[in-house]
Amino acid sequence: MQFRTPVEIPKAVFNIDHRSNLLFMGSCFSVNMGRQLQELKINSSVNPFGVLYNPVSINNSLEILLKKKIFGKDDIQEYKGLWFSFFHHSSFSDTDPEKCLEKINSAIHEASDHLKKTSVIFLTFGTAMVYDHIKSGMTVSNCHKLPATEFSHRMLNPEEIISDCNVLFKNLKTFNPDVRIVFSISPVRYVKDGLEISNYSKSILNVAIHELIAQNDCCSYFPAYEIVMDDLRDYRFFDADMVHPSRQAVDYILEKFAACYFSEETIKINEQVKKLIKACNHRFLTNNKTEILGFLETQLAKAKFLYEKSMVNMQDEINYFEREIEFQAHK
């Protein structure tokens, strides 16, 4: 008997490996996925504008990266002593406007250079609900705790999302002709306006995404939302707030992600990377110098092999083992 409804995910038509350059943008779920791939030493830029929830904000951010826009004092605002950008998450805010601009422009410069060589962009849409700043008329990425009276909110329709994305994709292809785009819908439910509105919002995103995939050969879909809602489908796979997926759920999604996008060789390399990272945290239970040095030298050789033969950036681990060998040798 079958007591689950597993989501069948076909193997992707392209592979991701340690030569790939990835860009993750979108909700906090994109942060979870992107950071896990960073831990595996796969070159990933994760949310250079901070967490973004709606398609308009994500598209605006990518357009800024394409133009490599430099923000100035006129592009940021101040409220209660804190300077911020309506395009950015509050993690970029600062009491000093120059420091705020430095964080913003540094992230844009780095991410724009990364985008030029990015092979796959992962866009995770969280909600179709957007907030418009009444005075400026712009759709904001974050309200930065300004009074609610300064904003109006509305639900995007699929046609708006499709139209905006198609304009963006045209510009992206000019900037980086070989880039691929993988959509996903965040499994985080936005319960502020009730579950009915949350489901309505997710439905709009779903319709828009699948129409975009039908219109653009460079686009595809990874069913993160369906994995959580239809496969796991249990409160034990959620955090205490009953809204965000648990670490166990994220790990399960990563397994599905790996099966979809990684070759067998990449999966094997990932296991070696995990073992070497674990070795960096190894605590010796012996004072035998020969045994300790033997362990460290073996791990150093493995890290160098991965670095030289498999294009895996193990420089931090190589530096660590070299320092430890020198320390133990002169101890």
> How confident is the model over 121-144, as pLDDT tens digits?
999 999 999 999 999 999 999 999
Question: Which residues, other chains included, contact 181 with Cβ-Cβ below 8 Å and sequence gap of 6+?
Answer: 120, 121, 123, 169, 172, 216, 218, 219, 220
CA–CA distance, 256 with 329 (Å, rounded to integer): 44
In the block, residue with structure tokens 């060789």: 265
User: Token pair for residue 160?
Assistant: 């708006």
The CA-based angle 256-262-267, given to 5 degrees, is 95
Question: Which residues, other chains included, contact 308 with Cβ-Cβ below 8 Å and sequence gap of 6+?
Answer: none
Question: Which residues, other chains included, contact 23 with Cβ-Cβ below 8 Å and sequence gap of 6+?
Answer: 44, 45, 111, 114, 115, 118, 120, 121, 122
Residue spans in the chain of domains classed CATH 3.40.50.1110:
21-262
In the block, residue with structure tokens 């699929």: 158
In the block, residue with structure tokens 């493995």: 302
What does each of the 331 residues of the chain score in pLDDT, given as a tens digit? Answer: 777 889 999 999 999 999 999 999 999 889 999 999 999 999 999 999 999 999 999 999 999 999 999 999 999 999 999 999 999 999 999 999 999 999 999 999 999 999 999 999 999 999 999 999 999 999 999 999 999 999 999 999 999 999 999 999 999 999 999 999 999 999 998 888 899 999 999 999 999 999 999 999 999 999 999 999 999 999 999 999 999 999 999 999 999 999 999 999 999 999 999 999 999 999 888 888 889 999 999 999 999 999 998 889 999 999 999 999 999 888 7
Helix (H, G, I), strand (E, B) or coil at 130: strand
Sign of CA dihedral 268, 316, 93, 87: negative
Q: What is the pLDDT of residue 311?
A: 86
Q: What's the burial of 139, exposed, middle or buried (CB within 10 Å: 0-12/13-18/19+)?
A: buried
Q: What is the pLDDT of residue 63?
A: 98
CA–CA distance, 231 with 6 (Å, rounded to integer): 5
Q: What's the burial of 137, exposed, middle or buried (CB within 10 Å: 0-12/13-18/19+)?
A: exposed
Q: What is the pLDDT of residue 330?
A: 82
Q: What is the pLDDT of residue 192?
A: 86
Return the beta strands (E) in 146-234 as ranges.
151-155, 180-185, 219-221
Q: What is the pLDDT of residue 256?
A: 96
Q: How many Cα atoms sit within 13 Å of 130 on the Cβ side?
A: 26
Q: How many Cα atoms sit within 13 Å of 162 on the Cβ side?
A: 15
Q: What is the pLDDT of residue 193?
A: 87
- Total-model pTM: 0.94
Q: What is the pLDDT of residue 259?
A: 96
Question: Which residues, other chains included, contact 157 with Cβ-Cβ below 8 Å and sequence gap of 6+?
Answer: 204
What would be the CATH architecture of the domain defined by 21-262? 3-Layer(aba) Sandwich (3.40)
In the block, residue with structure tokens 């069948």: 8
Question: Which residues, other chains included, contact 258 with Cβ-Cβ below 8 Å and sequence gap of 6+?
Answer: 267, 270
CA–CA distance, 2 with 32 (Å, rounded to integer): 30
Helix (H, G, I), strand (E, B) or coil at 48: coil
